[in-house]
Amino acid sequence: MKRMHEFATGQIKAECEAGIGQLIIDNPSRKNAINAAMWRAIPDAINWLVNQGGAAVILLSGGGSVDFSAGADISEFDTVRKDAETARIYEASNSRAFAAIRNASVPVIVAIRGVCYGGGFGLAAAADLRLASDDAIFAVPAARLGLAYPADAIQDFIHGLGSQLARKALFTGMSFRAGEMAKAGFLLKVTSSDSLHAHAQQLAETVGANAPLSLRAAKLALRAFEQNDEDLLRDAEIIGASTFTSEDYAEGRQAFRERRRPIFHGR
């Protein structure tokens, strides 16, 4: 059964069916620019997908058929970033959105087409797996606006782009095409625009069919090593050890013996 919930007056949409969660930035008339309410809604939407929707994997995409996201909605900056105090509050909501994707307990896959700028680029960088159409274009224009990119989100650019390309993106504000991003290792796959969703959906279904505890342990371990966090590593080891006596491990062995696809329940 498909479950759906809307956030930020419908501009952030969460849907889940058969363990595949969909998180949609739905503001296509403004190239899926993200306003303050949408930034605040992203962590809530991810929490709903995992805890109420039952998502084993989340697929992040932009609404419409043209762009992923132009990033923060600059048209509201005179209000939401009018002074130092409001700017700090606004940036904190950005950071919480990036962290919600980065720290989600399930894998997050992002499908990128068209414009992927600024905060939209940051959301993509925080995801685990990234696919893009061959018309996708990436940029971090913060320096051209006289702003600094949220410091805690820089880690995602370093991990995704590597040291040199991350510096080039942040220092120059230049744009990059999908092919260059794939060569840098930022993108797992580049497809045609028409086939992007199908490839991303297939990958989500492949990931989502696997044992939830195994996925959670793997994601925690990856985060632990990327962030050099011993507490996360211990948590990953505890979850990993719990798989040894789990119902899913018994089901995996039984399915192997019976030469059928296993049905996992996260227990």
CATH 3.40.50.620 fits 3-208, yes or no: no
| pLDDT band at residue 263 under the 50/70/90 scheme | confident
Alpha helices in 113-229 (DSSP H): 118-126, 142-145, 154-161, 163-172, 178-183, 196-208, 212-227
Each residue's pLDDT tens digit, 201-242: 999 999 999 999 999 999 999 999 888 899 988 988 998 999
Q: Has residue 262 got a pLDDT over 90?
A: no
What is the distance between the alpha carbons of residues 168 and 163, in angstroms, rounded to a whole number? Answer: 9
The number of beta carbons lying within 10 Å of the beta carbon of residue 62 is: 26
CATH 3.90.226.10 domain range(s) in the chain: 3-208
Average pLDDT of span 36-46: 98
What is the distance between the alpha carbons of residues 77 and 109, in angstroms, rounded to a whole number? Answer: 29
> In this predicted structure, what is the pLDDT of residue 77?
92
Q: Is 26 left (phi over 0), alpha (psi -120 to 50) or beta?
A: beta
Each residue's pLDDT tens digit, 78-118: 999 999 999 999 999 999 999 999 999 999 999 999 999 99
Average pLDDT of span 120-135: 98
